[in-house]
A and B are shown apart, each in its own frame.
Chain A
Amino acid sequence: MTSPSLTDDSNSPNPLREGLRIRPVPDPAIVVIFGATGDLAARKLLPALQALAAGNFLPPAFAVLGYGRRDKDDNAFRDDVRKALEEHGQNGDSATTEGFLSQVYYQRGNLDNAADFEALGKRLKKIAAERNIAPNVLFYLSTPPEHFEPVIRNLGHTGLNQPENGWARVVIEKPFGRDLDSAHELNAVVAEHFGEEQVFRIDHYLGKENVQNILVFRYANAIFEPIWNRRYVDNVQITVAESLGMEGRGDFFDKAGVARDIMQNHLLQLLCLTAMEPPVALAGDAVRDEKVKVVRSLCRIEADDVAAQTSRGQYTSGDLNGKSVPGYLQEEEVPADSTTETYAAARVFIDNWRWSGVPFYLRAGKRMPHKITEIAIEFRQAPMHLFEETRGEEARPNALIMNIQPDEGMAVRFYSKVPGTQMRVRPVVMDFRYGSSFGVEPPDAYERLLLDALLGDSTLFTRADEVEEAWRFFTPILEAWEAAGKDGMHNYEAGTWGPDDAQRLTDQDDKQWRRL
Chain B
Amino acid sequence: MEATVTPPPRTGESGEAAGLPGLLTFNNADADRIEAAVRRLWTDAAAEGNTGVLRASVLNLAVVLDDATQLQEVFQTLGELANSHPARAIILAPEANLTDDNIRTEVSIQCSFLPGYSRHVCTERIVIFASPAAMPALAQTVEALFMDELRRFLWWRRSTPPGGPLFERLAAKVDHVMIDSRRLSPRPNPFGLIADHDKCSLRDLSWSRLTPWRDILAQVFDPPQTRPFLQQIRHVEIRHVPGPQGQRINAAVLLAAWLAERLGWSLTGRGVDSELLLTAPEGGTPITLAFTPDSRPSHPLHLTAIILTPNEGAGLHVSIERAEDMQTAQLCMGPGDAPLACKVVGMAPMRDPQALARELDFWGRDEIYCRVIPIAHQLAEALDP
Contact across chains for A21 and B211 when beta carbons are under 8 A apart: yes
B82 part of interface (Cβ distance < 8 Å)? yes
Contact across chains for A1 and B260 when beta carbons are under 8 A apart: yes
Which residue of B85, B119, B224, B328 is within 8 Å of A10 (Cβ)? Answer: B224
Top 8 closest A-B pairs, CB basis? A3-B264, A99-B344, A439-B83, A19-B368, A10-B224, A16-B218, A15-B262, A436-B121
Size range of the chain B interface in the assembly? 35 or more
Known: A20-B218, A60-B220. A407 touches B264 (CB 8 A): no
B116 part of interface (Cβ distance < 8 Å)? yes
Contact across chains for B367 and A19 when beta carbons are under 8 A apart: yes
| Further pairs besides A14-B227, A16-B259, A406-B116: 16, Cβ < 8 Å | A1-B261, A3-B263, A15-B263, A18-B368, A19-B367, A21-B362, A56-B216, A60-B333, A96-B346, A99-B345, A134-B223, A407-B116, A435-B114, A436-B56, A436-B86, A436-B119
Contact across chains for B264 and A56 when beta carbons are under 8 A apart: no
Contact across chains for B222 and A27 when beta carbons are under 8 A apart: yes
Q: What are 7 A-B contacts defined by CB distance under 8 Å?
A: A3-B281, A11-B224, A20-B218, A56-B346, A59-B223, A435-B114, A439-B82
Contact across chains for B262 and A95 when beta carbons are under 8 A apart: no
Contact across chains for A20 and B227 when beta carbons are under 8 A apart: no
Q: For A439, give the chain B residue with the smallest CB separation.
A: B83
- Min CB distance B331 to A, Å, is 6
Known: A56-B212, A96-B345, A439-B121. A1 touches B114 (CB 8 A): no
- Min CB distance A90 to B, Å, is 11
B residues with CB within 8 A of A: 1, 54, 56, 58, 82-86, 112, 114, 116-117, 119, 121, 211-212, 214-225, 227-228, 230-231, 259-266, 281, 323, 327-328, 331, 333-334, 341, 343-346, 358, 362, 366-369, 375
Contact across chains for B223 and A6 when beta carbons are under 8 A apart: no
Contact across chains for A438 and B84 when beta carbons are under 8 A apart: yes
Contact across chains for B367 and A1 when beta carbons are under 8 A apart: no
- Docked pose: A378 CA to B327 CA in angstroms: 50
A98 part of interface (Cβ distance < 8 Å)? yes
- Min CB distance A95 to B, Å, is 5
- Docked pose: A436 CA to B58 CA in angstroms: 11
Contact across chains for B84 and A131 when beta carbons are under 8 A apart: no
A22 part of interface (Cβ distance < 8 Å)? yes
Q: For B332, give the chain A residue with the smallest CB separation.
A: A60
Which residue of B223, B227, B261 is within 8 Å of A61 (Cβ)? Answer: B223
A498 part of interface (Cβ distance < 8 Å)? no
Interfacial chain A residues near B369, Cβ < 8 Å: 19
Contact across chains for B266 and A440 when beta carbons are under 8 A apart: no
- Docked pose: A21 CA to B212 CA in angstroms: 11
Contact across chains for A440 and B56 when beta carbons are under 8 A apart: no
A55 part of interface (Cβ distance < 8 Å)? yes
Interfacial chain A residues near B366, Cβ < 8 Å: 19, 21
- Min CB distance B361 to A, Å, is 9
Per DSSP, are chain A's interface residues mostly helix, strand or loop, or mixed?
loop
Which residue of B117, B230, B265, B328 is within 8 Å of A435 (Cβ)? Answer: B117
Q: For B120, give the chain A residue with the smallest CB separation.
A: A436
Contact across chains for B224 and A56 when beta carbons are under 8 A apart: no
- Docked pose: A231 CA to B178 CA in angstroms: 46
A24 part of interface (Cβ distance < 8 Å)? yes
Which residue of B82, B86, B227 is within 8 Å of A12 (Cβ)? Answer: B227
Contact across chains for B221 and A14 when beta carbons are under 8 A apart: yes
Interfacial chain A residues near B223, Cβ < 8 Å: 27-28, 59, 61, 134
- Min CB distance B232 to A, Å, is 11
Contact across chains for A4 and B1 when beta carbons are under 8 A apart: no
A433 part of interface (Cβ distance < 8 Å)? yes
Interfacial chain B residues near A92, Cβ < 8 Å: 346
Which residue of B86, B119, B224, B341 is within 8 Å of A437 (Cβ)? Answer: B86
Q: For A22, give the chain B residue with the smallest CB separation.
A: B215
Interfacial chain A residues near B84, Cβ < 8 Å: 438-440
- Min CB distance A180 to B, Å, is 40
Contact across chains for B375 and A1 when beta carbons are under 8 A apart: yes
Q: For A438, give the chain B residue with the smallest CB separation.
A: B84
Interfacial chain A residues near B266, Cβ < 8 Å: 1
Interfacial chain A residues near B327, Cβ < 8 Å: 93, 95
A506 part of interface (Cβ distance < 8 Å)? no
A221 part of interface (Cβ distance < 8 Å)? no
- Docked pose: A406 CA to B375 CA in angstroms: 50
- Docked pose: A14 CA to B224 CA in angstroms: 8
A91 part of interface (Cβ distance < 8 Å)? no
Interfacial chain A residues near B343, Cβ < 8 Å: 60, 99, 102-103
A394 part of interface (Cβ distance < 8 Å)? no
A114 part of interface (Cβ distance < 8 Å)? no
Contact across chains for B265 and A1 when beta carbons are under 8 A apart: yes
- Docked pose: A99 CA to B346 CA in angstroms: 10
Which residue of A4, A59, A439 is within 8 Å of B219 (Cβ)? Answer: A59
Interfacial chain A residues near B224, Cβ < 8 Å: 10-11
- Min CB distance B285 to A, Å, is 12
A76 part of interface (Cβ distance < 8 Å)? no
Q: A81-114: which have CB < 8 Å to B?
A: 92-93, 95-96, 98-99, 102-103
Which residue of B1, B54, B214 is within 8 Å of A433 (Cβ)? Answer: B54
